[in-house]
Amino acid sequence: MPEQDGAQYDVIIIGGGPGGSTTGALLKKYAPKMRVLILEKETFPREHVGESQLPPISRILEEMGCWEDVEKAGFPIKIGVTYTWGRTTDPWDFEFLPLDAIHDDEPRPAKYEGWRQQTAFQVERDRYDTILLDCAENLGCEVRQGTRVASIQRDGDRISGIELESGDVVTAKHYVDASGNAAILRKAMGVNIEAPTLLRNVAFWDYWDNDEWANEIGVGATRVHIRSLPYGWLWFIPLGPTRTSIGLVCPADYYKSCGKSPAEVYHDAIKQESWVEAHTRNATSENEVRSTTDWSFISDRTYGENWFLVGETVGFADPILAAGLTLTQSGGRELAYTILELERGEHDRAWLVDRYNELQLRRVTQHMRFAEYWYSANGVFEDIQENCTEIAKHAGLKLDPQQAFRWLSQGGLDNDVAGQAGVGGLDVAAIKQIMLRFTGDASNKKHVDWTVNGKNVFKLNLQNATRKKIGSLSNGRIHQAIAYERSDRRLEIVGVAGLLVAALEESSDLEHIMGYLQRAFDAQLPREHHPIALQHAVQTLEAMANEYWVLCSTKRGKQVLNVQTPVEGAFIHSHDEQGMTARPTPALESGTG
């Protein structure tokens, strides 16, 4: 690649964690001649909190070429989460896939195929981050560990070089801040941050070992356990057959007022939660309680003239949704694609960088919004109920399921897959089931109402909407597509949403729409994937209807759409006292009738 202003590198990345290594690895995968330098102040392996993942990361690991290495490390397979959260203390499960699809007796390492495409990992970050950084280095990145940045040399909004602690200065065409909480470049460039939420928590954690766990919760397909307390919640994350991470999250104000040390408040919390207390009774801890602030925040911007922010330098959303690593590595992928296209020069620079900026800020904000809903809907938070009430008031949040869904939808529930409604690892059906559990006695309600239920006329509504170009990513390229925007809502004409728009442009009649979808599925998907594809289509139609991109009505004498959210579904259902899951029923039933 041609040099610019005598730069030594094409890209310099500050930080060798998942954000930096993902960005570097994908840059080198798709542009092997690119000169990429990763500066890391620590010497790996090093410990780091944030062990729980969501399934979108698995796709990124496969694209980076390190899925097999992560599999060989033997990290537990994560299939979901068990919660005590809502109006009662009864545990319930959120699964990434139906239990009958799981074959956890298959040998490992396994390939990224079949049911494993819908799972995640629970990782020891010292080993996991080392695997990712080694991957970037093996692909050709120059990695300098134990190398501290002394200062950022800048000229206005442009970086002219990075001075290292050794006194050397390194230069590049593009600079990336992946330094996490240190935010080296962000601070040097004077980027402001704000906390548009009342979720200001602290976390305390330690690591425990117990041979008994190998017979129950530390082997095979595992779940994270989230357990509510009157003043916060505990995480219990299996990291291997006998080792687990246990942490407490509570409001900073509560911790300051309780008069206890971090170790005291942490161990008191474990004693107060019966399930965690029982599972740690015969366990030993490292007896080193760590702590950090988990304050949700977001940066004013993510780029400048020749620099970018990625990962937690951009923003941080409360860990209740376990989205930190997912946001970081998804952001690293987006940034790598953005820089690749900047180098090719085939797209307008302003469009590329504005697209990256808007997407990163919107994703963090969406997760903050969802976290606010989770906290304000937890009736178990007795000691901090006033704070939760203020969170709901601050957000303008109403806890009626339909109103809450509309509120969450503003800005688009499209965080995980472009053109497909979902956020935080949850699709629309799962979000509605959670709302059902959070807003009352689920045993007395059969379903949360769907806007599209009982309707058979679906009219596309693009009135007062403006067209804009968006991008979809594949094989190292950003392909332009179209989106419509109206107020703070967006309809992306890609993926499932794009398929629905094409069907709706032909006809508003349900039977015609279903026939169009069926023909598209026949042409694009194996027959066994049709049911799940139809579910995604119906759920995306619901999100479009709630954002008024589709106007629904009923014409008498014709078949209607029948969609319900059962209390006990395949993805969200009750957890029995022995720790075994209840027999699930479908979370979404759709069709005409």
Domain assignment present for residue 26? The answer is yes
Phi then psi dihedrals of residue 28, to 5 deg:
-75, -30
What one-character DSSP code corresponds to residue 584? P
67 and 175 belong to one structural domain: yes
The number of beta carbons lying within 10 Å of the beta carbon of residue 59 is 16
Domain assignment present for residue 176? The answer is yes
Domain assignment present for residue 66? The answer is yes
75: Cβ contacts below 8 Å, ≥ 6 apart:
121, 122, 123, 124, 127, 128, 239, 240
Query: Cβ distance 542 to 428 under 8 Å?
Result: yes
- Alpha carbon of residue 64 to chain centroid: 18
Structurally, the chain folds into a number of domains equal to 2
Domain assignment present for residue 217? The answer is no
Last residue of a domain, one of 348, 364, 380: 364
Domain assignment present for residue 424? The answer is no
| pLDDT confidence of residue 588 | 33
CATH number at residue 177: 3.50.50.60
- Alpha carbon of residue 336 to chain centroid: 18
Pairing relationship of beta strands 297-299 and 315-316 according to DSSP bridges: antiparallel
Measured distance CA(232)–CA(326) in Å, rounded: 23
In 3D, which of 53, 28, 101, 563 has the Cα closest to residue 18? 53
Measured distance CA(235)–CA(557) in Å, rounded: 52
Domain assignment present for residue 375? The answer is no
Query: Cβ distance 562 to 592 under 8 Å?
Result: yes
147: Cβ contacts below 8 Å, ≥ 6 apart:
39, 40, 41, 164, 165, 166
478 and 352 belong to one structural domain: no
Query: Cβ distance 17 to 180 under 8 Å?
Result: yes
11: Cβ contacts below 8 Å, ≥ 6 apart:
23, 24, 27, 34, 35, 36, 37, 172, 173, 174, 175, 176, 339
Last residue of a domain, one of 332, 347, 364: 364
Query: Cβ distance 542 to 65 under 8 Å?
Result: no
Q: Could you tell me the pTM of the whole model?
A: 0.90
The number of beta carbons lying within 10 Å of the beta carbon of residue 470 is 21
35 and 169 belong to one structural domain: yes
The number of beta carbons lying within 10 Å of the beta carbon of residue 541 is 30
- Give me the count of residues in the chain: 593
44 and 153 belong to one structural domain: yes
Domain residues for 535?
Answer: 457-553
Domain assignment present for residue 55? The answer is yes
Measured distance CA(116)–CA(89) in Å, rounded: 31
Last residue of a domain, one of 312, 346, 364: 364
Q: 80 to each of 40, 233, 282, how far by Cα in Å?
A: 32, 17, 25
Q: 498 to each of 110, 284, 376, 420, 504, how far by Cα in Å?
A: 33, 53, 34, 9, 10
Measured distance CA(425)–CA(119) in Å, rounded: 10
354 and 463 belong to one structural domain: no
In 3D, which of 17, 98, 19, 5 has the Cα closest to residue 310? 19
Amino acid of residue 261 = S
Query: Cβ distance 224 to 258 under 8 Å?
Result: no
Q: What is the pLDDT along the chain (593 residues), one digit of tens a residue?
A: 334 456 899 999 999 999 999 999 999 999 999 999 999 999 999 999 999 999 999 999 999 999 999 999 999 999 999 999 988 888 999 888 888 888 877 888 999 998 999 899 999 999 999 999 999 999 999 999 999 999 999 999 999 999 999 999 999 999 999 999 999 999 999 999 998 888 889 999 999 999 888 766 767 788 999 999 999 999 999 999 999 999 999 999 999 999 999 999 999 999 999 999 999 999 999 999 999 987 889 999 999 999 999 999 999 988 888 889 999 999 999 999 999 999 999 999 999 999 999 999 988 888 888 888 888 888 888 888 888 778 777 666 655 555 555 555 544 444 445 555 666 567 778 877 887 777 665 555 555 678 899 999 999 999 999 999 889 899 999 999 999 999 878 898 988 899 999 999 999 999 999 999 999 999 988 888 888 889 889 988 988 998 899 999 999 999 999 988 777 888 888 886 444 333 333 233 333 33
184 and 304 belong to one structural domain: yes
Domain assignment present for residue 369? The answer is no
- Vertex 85: Cα angle to 416 and 401 (nearest 5): 65
Place of tokens 């023909």: 519
